[in-house]
Amino acid sequence: MSEIFERFNLTGKTALITGAAGLLGIEHAAALLESGASVVLTDIDTAGLSSASEKLLSSVESTRVVTQVMDVSQMSSIITTAREIENKDLRIDILVNNAAIDPKVKEDKGMIETSRLENFPLEQWDMQMAVGLTGAFLCSQVFGSAMARNGKGGIILNIASDLSVLSPDQRLYRQDNVDENMQPVKPVTYSVIKAGLIGLTRYLATYWIDKGVRSNALSPGGVFNGQSDEFVQRLSSLIPMGRMAQKNEYRSAIQFLCSDASAYLNGQNIVIDGGRSVL
Ligand SMILES: NC(=O)c1ccc[n+]([C@@H]2O[C@H](COP(=O)([O-])OP(=O)(O)OC[C@H]3O[C@@H](n4cnc5c(N)ncnc54)[C@H](O)[C@@H]3O)[C@@H](O)[C@H]2O)c1
């Protein structure tokens, strides 16, 4: 293998991905497998985990993909996973904090539009925060501590969003013939969680660096996933490249950020958004 490719080589490493049954989780896993790592796929969606693992196993040997139901908002669930991993004699070298609740913006049929700041329910705030931000903290606490303790170091990668650096453009979600106070919006939680993850990334980047644990964030722009033509057109018009991302376009970034290819990168937020955030 050439020296360049050797820096990306993850043979012998194990990566744990949260929210691995979702659209991007499985892509992150495929990228890491391609670089030679083994993966522990975790999610609350049991059926989704099985189908993700089935897809991935069609191209790699079975020992390299492990699945584990894990709720990132519950410390007990994370500890159980850590024990299971230990029982399997695995060591987590890479943690990808990817799980999130991304409520799709849609017309609310009720009497009020609950996505709007004025009406946003505290239970939704708490629930989304528990998964997207507290979940990343708890997983870093458990798996990051283990990386710091075991003398091998590791990498924590937080999956944020272009909305970690941009305010949502609420015009994207506007609906015709709907009153102003009933217009749906991207909820406040998404912006707060994604900006919070960047703070967590910076904190972690220095906390265990003497133990060889690096931390960075990846901020993807919107991925095309069958959204309406109107939405795609509106969003594409805000992106210099004139289109949304394909779901596999973050794979190389994952391979870079989770390997020695990025050995001197620490505490940064890599925004990959077709140029949207430079406008
Ligand atoms: N898809 C995009 O356009 C896009 C753009 C920018 C950033 N992101 C970010 O990328 C990440 C992945 O996004 P996605 O599009 O794959 O989302 P997704 O909704 O397809 O997947 C999220 C996964 O998280 C899981 N999950 C929910 N609650 C959980 C919990 N309590 N514990 C464990 N897992 C839980 C879900 O079951 C789901 O499988 C998210 O952090 C998202 O904010 C996505």
Rounded distance from Cα 6 to ligand 1 centre (Å): 30
Closest to 224 (Cα-Cα) out of 17, 18, 23, 20:
23
Divide the 279 residues of the chain into consecutive groups of 10 and give the mean pLDDT of each group: 89 98 98 98 98 96 96 98 97 98 69 95 98 99 98 98 98 96 97 98 98 98 98 98 98 98 98 97
pTM for the predicted model, two decimal places:
0.97
Contact 98, 32 (CB under 8 A): no
* Residue 163 Cα: closest atom of ligand 1: 6
Contact 93, 32 (CB under 8 A): no
User: Would you state the pLDDT for residue 111?
Assistant: 84
User: Would you state the pLDDT for residue 107?
Assistant: 53
User: Would you state the pLDDT for residue 110?
Assistant: 73
* Residue 74 Cα: closest atom of ligand 1: 31
User: Would you state the pLDDT for residue 1?
Assistant: 66
